[in-house]
Amino acid sequence: MAKIMIQGTASSVGKSLVTAALCRIFKQDGYSVCPYKSQNMSLNSYITLDGKEMGRAQVLQAYAAGLEPEAFMNPILLKPSSDTKCQVIVNGKVYGNSNAKEYHNLKAEFKDMLKEQFLELEKKFDIIVMEGAGSPAEINLRDNDIVNMGMAELVDAPVLLVGDIDKGGVFASLAGTMLLLTPEEKKRVKGTIINKFRGDIALLQPGIDMITDIIEIPCLGVVPYFHHILEDEDGSRMEINKTVNAPIDIAVLMLPHISNFTDVDALRTEEDVSVRFIMSKEEFGNPDILIIPGSKNTIEDLLTLRKAGIEQKVKEYASHGFVVGICGGYQMLGKIISDPLKVESQALCTEGMALLDIETSLEAEKVMTRVKGSFQHKGNQGGIYGYEIHMGTTKKGAACQDFIALEEVNGVKVENFDGTFNEKGNVIGTYIHGIFDSVDFRQYILNIIRENKGIPVKVSKTYEGIRDNEINKLADIVRENLDMRKIYEVLGMK
């Protein structure tokens, strides 16, 4: 079994996508390959077929490798609930809540588990493509490190170091990172990759030659900047897209503790749709659809919206616009959010926006399910699928109608309901993440808007097919621009 680890000079340099590209390349070359990230910090998570939670980046990488996502690909997931605390997910299940210092001390306890699990993975796959987190030069975190050089040492993995030239300062980042590594760590770095390059490669070559001499590590390639619609791990695109550049304007509330913003990625694949994230009432405008996404701290985010005047804008918009609340956003649309166990807040009861006749009670046990069913909306219906991740139960009042008939939960046949919509049908709420991935629902909702605006209706494409084509495009670009022969040498393979 061979392994290789992709580390970066910083967050958002492209580690996740380089890892995904290599997974697809190795798969194309006939190898069984598995992605692996020992520890991920993200509010974008996913539920596996067996009801376990994992980070979305490894989900994309699993698809690139031709695998069904499984929690062993991301054994530790940290979900921040505030600036100092996070929920710790271990092997797909809630381990507990921890502050930064407590978790730093916990990491030593996880090392044996991670090594044992990794040794088992080595028996099952030809190649494991590992991903680090942040930067290995975070020297304050070197002790008990289990995700960068500490993990590489634990399983004796060679490292490729990725730097992002689009931000500027890539040579300083590469040199500075190498400067802060120990002699033993430096020996693990077998090559560098310069990512997101725009321009003439001939003008960059002198810099590549000089940095190679300075750090004494070869550059294995320069990956050009290119547009893609693959899901984003850290939300950088949320900050970029603020304008409406297509006939259909979809606005998403940028909650302070937003989670699973990848729920809207399928909407980005529609050519006549513009998705923008709004942070203030001044940015609100008059969108065709307003989405209130999930939140890791629903009550605090609701109070923030209220204080900023955004809640009032939502209420005014709901008189004529189309509102979709997902998970925490669904809870906000109701009349009451109770927190008897003080799961999220010291307040036992908080008023919601009262746009749906529902009441929610937050509970200690976390719901983590994969679901299938069909939506029913004003005489129309279609297939739907996705996953639920929430801590709370919601009861529907008489003024609302059932939205989704659930037919399968974690592979078990059921007869149940999720979500609701108001009498007018323009305010919808659901616990199901990934609802717009369902081609029937996405096409139905967008065609309502198209008809209202006098735009020709369209047949939507499956998100899974689009995603697979994008992964292939990514792999082609990376294969063309990296020295794959050298990478196979690093792996110890032909």
What does the block give as tokens for 206? 């002198």
Please report where in the chains the tokens 């006749």 appear, as a residue.
357
Q: How far is residue 139's CA from residue 428's CA, in Å, rounded to a whole number? A: 47
Q: How far is residue 70's CA from residue 59's CA, in Å, rounded to a whole number? A: 8
Residue of 257, 377, 390, 433 marked active site? 433
Q: How far is residue 464's CA from residue 494's CA, in Å, rounded to a whole number? A: 32
3-state SS of 300-343 is HHHHHHHHCCHHHHHHHHCCCCCEEEECHHHHHCCCEEECCCCC
Q: How far is residue 276's CA from residue 237's CA, in Å, rounded to a whole number? A: 9
**DSSP secondary structure string, 157-196?**
--EEEEEESTTS-HHHHHHHHHHHS-HHHHHHEEEEEEEE
Residue of 219, 327, 390, 400 marked active site? 327
Please report where in the chains the tokens 């890892």 appear, as a residue.
19
327 is known as an active-site residue:
yes
- Strand 127-131 and strand 2-8: the pairing is parallel
Q: With contact defined as beta carbons under 8 Å apart, do 193 and 220 qualify?
A: yes
Q: Which of 296, 360, 332, 325 is nearest to 432 (CA)?
A: 325
Strand 349-351: give its sheet, edge to edge: 349-351, 336-338, 358-361, 393-396
433 is known as an active-site residue:
yes
**To which H or E segment does residue 276 belong?**
strand 273-278
Q: Please tell me whether residue 240 adopts helix, strand or coil conformation.
A: helix
Counting every residue, how long is the chain?
494
Q: Please give the C-alpha separations between residue 423 and each of 290, 304, 331, 426, in angstroms, as whole numbers.
A: 18, 28, 18, 8
What does the block give as tokens for 150? 């500490």
Burial 69-105 (b: 16+ CB within 10 A, else e): bbbbbbbbbbbbbeeeebbbbbbbebeeebeeeebee
Q: Please tell me whether residue 202 adopts helix, strand or coil conformation.
A: helix
Where in the sequence numbering do the catalytic residues fall?
327, 433
